[in-house]
Amino acid sequence: MVLAHRDDAAETTLSPPHERALAQALGWAAADGALPWAARWAAADGVAVGDRPWGLVTPTHWHLGTDQVSLIDPAGLMLDESASRELFKAVNVLMTDDGFELVWGHASRWYLSHSSLRDMPCASLDRVVGRNVDRWLVQGVHARGLRRLQSEVQMLLHGHPVNDAREARGLLPVNSFWLSGCGVAQAATGPEPRVLDALRGPALANDWVAWAKAWQHLDDGPLAELATAQAAGDDVGLSLCGERNAHTWRTAPPSALGGLMRQLGKLGLTRAAPPVQQQLEAL
């Protein structure tokens, strides 16, 4: 394959590289932090999204440390449908009083609709997991209202019977929420890519043994299939995404390869590929 596209940015962007790469593949156009994932997932969960703006509300646990408040990976909450629906009912009262519409979609996915979400840049959940929430909170004209709502939800959830029962079982309480993926639904104009996210969990947990095992699984399975397709002459691509950057490699059928290589040569993208480790470090 040859390097066909580079998306290089700082690790402080609200939308991480893997979300930007997927949005590009779908043909979306949006500013940083304004990729409408909530509307996409809500539609997949059976919500009639229409042309209204939506935001993803993720039930979370914020951990109070000695010098910061960090967000625990929601996957570790093991929140079941029954508990989620009970908490949803309580939170929905607050949201409705503020003029928001809240819709339950899944134990870990609630959807919020309001006109203010149309142009509200939000940090992706993957940017915040395991980190200080302060630097990732919504800024600008919407910040005050959202933070007030978060404070009210936190007070409501403190001592909630569902959380008392969870703590009695040794589980973390749900004590806040994270808002992300705001905007109006966009239609996909490109083919749906195959997304392999086996590396996500181990990377967020800093579990590098599990991360290496996940790579081995990818090498033995999906990436081996990709190599087979490439060897058969299929036009295939691969995007690798890290904290800062997303790089995409492509191949082409033999009949088109010559023209493609000439075009890439004009862009200076056909130099010998560096070692794999060096390419991963560049992400």
More confident site: 156 or 262: 156
Q: CATH number for the 29-184 domain, one of 2.60.40, 3.30.70, 1.20.1070, 3.40.50?
A: 3.30.70
Helices (H), the chain: 17-26, 37-44, 81-97, 125-128, 143-157, 161-168, 200-204, 208-220, 222-231, 254-266, 276-281
Give tens-digit pLDDT for 240-281: 999 999 999 998 655 555 555 556 555 555 555 667 788 888
Mean pLDDT, rounded, for 197-217: 93
**Taking a C-beta distance cutoff of 8 angstroms, is the pair 86, 181 a contact?**
no
Which sequence spans correspond to the domains of the chain? 2-11+193-281, 29-184
The stretch 30-34 carries a mean pLDDT of 93
Question: According to the model, what pLDDT value does residue 143 have?
Answer: 82
Q: The whole model's pTM is what?
A: 0.88
For residues 175 and 61, the answer to whether their CB atoms sit within 8 Å is yes
- pLDDT for the residue 276: 78
Phi, psi of 71 (to 5 degrees): -105, 125
**pLDDT of 264:** 56
